[in-house]
Structure 1
């Protein structure tokens, strides 16, 4: 199901007032400020929808990406979303933690995935990028998150050479990743 916004209501055959009337009548559900879904839409993660709608380049990162890849048991309190450094951080209603990543490395390890229950997509970082980010931002996310994700990734057959190649492309990642790999060896 496609999201509706006041600016795109006409494309769906609704005026702005018709959009708000549909919300009052229960035909549309408010996902976040200015974002609506049909009331009969499939169940979906509203934070993912809000992030993808507010920022087309929004990328799931850090603990949220590690949780999606099933590399941590931690349940993030908020959806971790990366946007390019210098971008305006959107105001949001949901539990979204916006992180600004360097534009030069922003696209490394990204892929687009569908948002379950919708026809929208959102970007997410690969397991290798997410682990490298957790190590380089360990002061922000905690060292345990990075170490436990690395252990699980290795247990599942992750290739250290691929991880080191990813870490070498990111600032402040190569040394802590290498140290952790050596400690686990």
Structure 2
């Protein structure tokens, strides 16, 4: 790699937009780095250094929608509360935000802005990139709340697994579920049966 290309690569973040690269180099240098495989195109206008590590699918999603949050089956799987393997990532965004076009298969879900941040944490994908991830309790609540579309057994299975874990606090789950009337009563009934 030439000295100029090396200097340009050092100044780029691991994941970047075309406009970020153009602030650091001319079009010709950018196209050369792309053609030689030193940078990869993740999506239209979104690029990444080839040697950078991380989950490229999630990095693409986070790059397209910074508020993207793993939810439903994708979040339950991250918390080991289901054996299901989703064919596409379940991603929540605040209601009113448009889903992004991605090469990665994504099932976009729009959640109420008022409750969007409840139970939302961040998952570090690489040194610079994070994506939202709903905690185990919120993921269980969402499985109950959306049981008509996600299946009636998903929430019960996740709740059973969660209750077997050391440190699970049903009182905390019920308190969080109070913000989600559609799930609150169903979770309370299931807890009465399981406990």
CA RMSD of aligned residues (A): 1.5
Quote how far apart the aligned CAs of 1:183 are. Answer: 2.1
Distance in 2, Cα, partners of 1:31 & 1:76: 21
Distance in 1, Cα, partners of 2:112 & 2:28: 41
Structure 1: stretches of 5+ with no match in the other structure:
none
Name the structure 1 match of 2:128: 119
Distance in 1, Cα, partners of 2:57 & 2:149: 21
- Contact 1:6–1:16 (8 Å) recurs in 2: no
Name the structure 1 match of 2:177: 167
Name the structure 1 match of 2:153: 144
Asked if residue 38 in structure 1 is aligned to residue 49 in structure 2, the reply is yes
Distance in 1, Cα, partners of 2:28 & 2:90: 34
Distance in 1, Cα, partners of 2:183 & 2:90: 19
Quote how far apart the aligned CAs of 1:33 are. Answer: 2.6
Name the structure 2 match of 1:72: 82
Quote how far apart the aligned CAs of 1:94 are. Answer: 0.8
**TM-score normalized by the length of structure 2:** 0.87
C-alpha spacing 1:109/1:47, structure 2 compared with 1 (3 Å): same
The within-5 A match list for 1:96-111 is 96-111=106-121
Name the structure 1 match of 2:71: 61
Name the structure 2 match of 1:26: 37
Quote how far apart the aligned CAs of 1:102 are. Answer: 0.5
- Which of 1 and 2 has greater Rg? 2
Question: 2:181 aligns to what SS in structure 1?
Answer: coil
C-alpha spacing 1:16/1:6, structure 2 compared with 1 (3 Å): farther
Quote how far apart the aligned CAs of 1:176 are. Answer: 1.1
Q: List 4+ stretches of structure 1 deviating above 6 A.
A: none
Quote how far apart the aligned CAs of 1:147 are. Answer: 1.1
Distance in 1, Cα, partners of 2:85 & 2:29: 39
Name the structure 1 match of 2:193: 183
Name the structure 2 match of 1:84: 94
Question: 1:87 aligns to what SS in structure 2?
Answer: coil
**TM-score normalized by the length of structure 1:** 0.91
